Amino acid sequence: MTIREQLKDIASQRILVLDGAMGSMLQRHTLTEAEFRGKRFAAHPGTLLGCNDVLCLSKPSLVSDIHEAYLKAGADIIETCSFNATAVSLAGFGIADCAYDISFAAASLARKVADAWSMPEKPRFVAGSMGPTAKCAGIPSDFANPAQRAVSWDELSAAYYDNARGLLDGGADLLLVETVIDSINAKAALYAIGCLRNERRSDIPVIVSASVAHGGRILSGQTLSAFYVAMSHADPIAIGMNCSFGATTMLPYLRQLATVPCMIIAYPNAGMPNQAGDYDETPAIMAQAEAGFMNEGLVNIVGGCCGSTPEHIAAIAEKVLHYRPRALPKPSPVLPLSGLEPGTLPEHVVYDDRVETLVAAGDYDEAVELLRSAAEAGASYIALRLDDDLHDAPRAMQTLVNLALSYPDIARLPFVIGGSRWPVVEAALKCLPGRGLVDASHLADADKALIQRYGEAYLTNL
């Protein structure tokens, strides 16, 4: 039985328990700079204080003890200490080249402890934690230049590839793309995982979890239902929410995911941090709030994020014994699309050739204004196509899409991308936050396969 099959089998019988916070537990220890460095980084020129992931190399026994405490509390799944183990995040500490080693060590530590606690009647699983990084590909880094991003898709996908590769090589059972605040970052992570799936010719179960603000949207503005559509191409074993705010506030947003045809995961913070930086929800309060999720039949996996401890997980593990897991709805036969909000498949597509003419003349502002006018007039999609002969057409497409997405009226809609040259189409796909549609009438079969890996749909008769 594969890991995916095992998890689905267990989840059909009972609610699974994820562990709690790693960072909160590490902060209980007053670690010094020297302890973060260990032997390997003793001569490192910069500070490593606060780089929790590096402790997998410098203080592995401490990380293992925390894993063990959560397993003792009743967790079925433990997360690796690798939330920031990507080159993008570790670059701030000057150790970007250590991303694979840290990811491998993080998974190896969790694997060893999970195996020691695993029993036939209660197997334990290791989820490789893949955090959002501190940079967003879908949000302008300079609002005076809305086409500019702090990080590119290519940088993110390369960083996530090494992160995921290390986690899998170290023994992770599944990968957890978590605390998503920008769906483009998450899509880049899923793209990297898809590359590994193809290379290894094996299934890699994935869980995707968003961090939402009050109002039920992630930081980049996407609704939860649109977020699921954008992630659905990766066939996630579960999707849901973490971090965000306390369990008592998460309930109405979980209801928005009720019709999603995969498992739902919820692991909120133990409340919001107070002025002292502490989290106020006690184990009893948090467990009772999560019992509300279970009582409405909304969840398949529960646990804790920031501020939660083994005591919180023990209280939650006791609660799950009294509730049935959520039954999975049947998938919809309708092909869904999304921007920042859900969309539908258009019956036919019309391109405005004036947009292409304006871009060729370098007048991006007027080109975007045409798109915005169409959106305000009630358009159900944004259709873009650029002439292959246009100078540096891929860069022009990237600039056009990023500028267009800076307007909420445009960004809420799904995009339809046309063209006969793959690099131009691909440039657009690396910028789309939702699930768009590609007019693949003039593309090769190999390109059509890549469209799906980017998370988009395609048709050949538009």
Q: Which of 377, 382, 314, 330 is nearest to 303 (CA)?
A: 314
- Report the chain's mean pLDDT, rounded to a whole number: 95
The distance of Cα 330 from the centroid of its chain, to the nearest Å, equals 23
Percentage, residues of the chain above pLDDT 90: 87
Residue 319 has pLDDT above 80, yes or no: yes
> CA 397, CA 419: separation in Å to the nearest integer?
11
CB count within 10 Å of CB 206 equals 26
pLDDT at 183: 97
Collapsing DSSP states into helix, strand and coil, what is residue 457? strand
Say if residues 243 and 274 touch (Cβ distance below 8 Å).
Answer: no
Collapsing DSSP states into helix, strand and coil, what is residue 421? coil
Say if residues 310 and 69 touch (Cβ distance below 8 Å).
Answer: yes
Answer left, alpha or beta for residue 202, where phi above 0 means left and psi between -120 and 50 means alpha. Answer: beta
**The two three-digit tokens of residue 205, written as one number:** 């179960």
Q: Is it true that 3-320 and 336-459 share their CATH fold?
A: yes
> CA 191, CA 120: separation in Å to the nearest integer?
34
pLDDT at 47: 97
Beta bridge partners of 437: 416, 457
pLDDT at 335: 82
Amino acid making up residue 122: K
Q: Which of 61, 38, 50 is nearest to 92 (CA)?
A: 50
pLDDT at 143: 82
| Helices and strands counted in the chain (H then E) | 19, 14
CB count within 10 Å of CB 6 equals 14
Q: Which fold has domain 3-320?
A: TIM Barrel (3.20.20)
Residue 287 has pLDDT above 90, yes or no: yes
> CA 462, CA 254: separation in Å to the nearest integer?
36
> CA 385, CA 388: separation in Å to the nearest integer?
9
> CA 285, CA 425: separation in Å to the nearest integer?
50
98: confidence class by pLDDT, cuts 50, 70, 90: very high
Alpha helices in 223-295, H assignment, sequence order: 224-231, 247-254, 283-295
> CA 188, CA 191: separation in Å to the nearest integer?
5
252: confidence class by pLDDT, cuts 50, 70, 90: very high
Say if residues 17 and 74 touch (Cβ distance below 8 Å).
Answer: yes
Say if residues 87 and 70 touch (Cβ distance below 8 Å).
Answer: no
pLDDT at 334: 82
* Of the listed ranges 78-92, 141-155, 186-200, the one predicted with least confidence: 141-155
Write the class of the CATH domain 336-459: alpha beta
DSSP string covering 158-171: HHHHHHHHHHHHHT
**Residue extents of the structural domains in the chain:** 3-320, 336-459
Beta bridge partners of 140: 149
Backbone angles phi, psi at 432, to 5 degrees: -85, 125
The distance of Cα 67 from the centroid of its chain, to the nearest Å, equals 23
- Beta-sheet strands, E only, within 125-257: 125-130, 174-180, 206-210, 238-246
Residues 6+ apart with CB under 8 A from 436: 337, 339, 414, 415, 416, 417, 428, 429, 456, 457
Say if residues 237 and 209 touch (Cβ distance below 8 Å).
Answer: no
Alpha helices in 129-223, H assignment, sequence order: 153-170, 183-200
> CA 456, CA 338: separation in Å to the nearest integer?
10
446: confidence class by pLDDT, cuts 50, 70, 90: confident
**The two three-digit tokens of residue 88, written as one number:** 């993008």
For the entire predicted model, the pTM comes to 0.97
Mean pLDDT, residues 367-371: 97
**The two three-digit tokens of residue 113, written as one number:** 């402890």
* Of the listed ranges 213-217, 306-310, 360-364, the one predicted with least confidence: 213-217
Element (H, E) at 318: helix 310-320
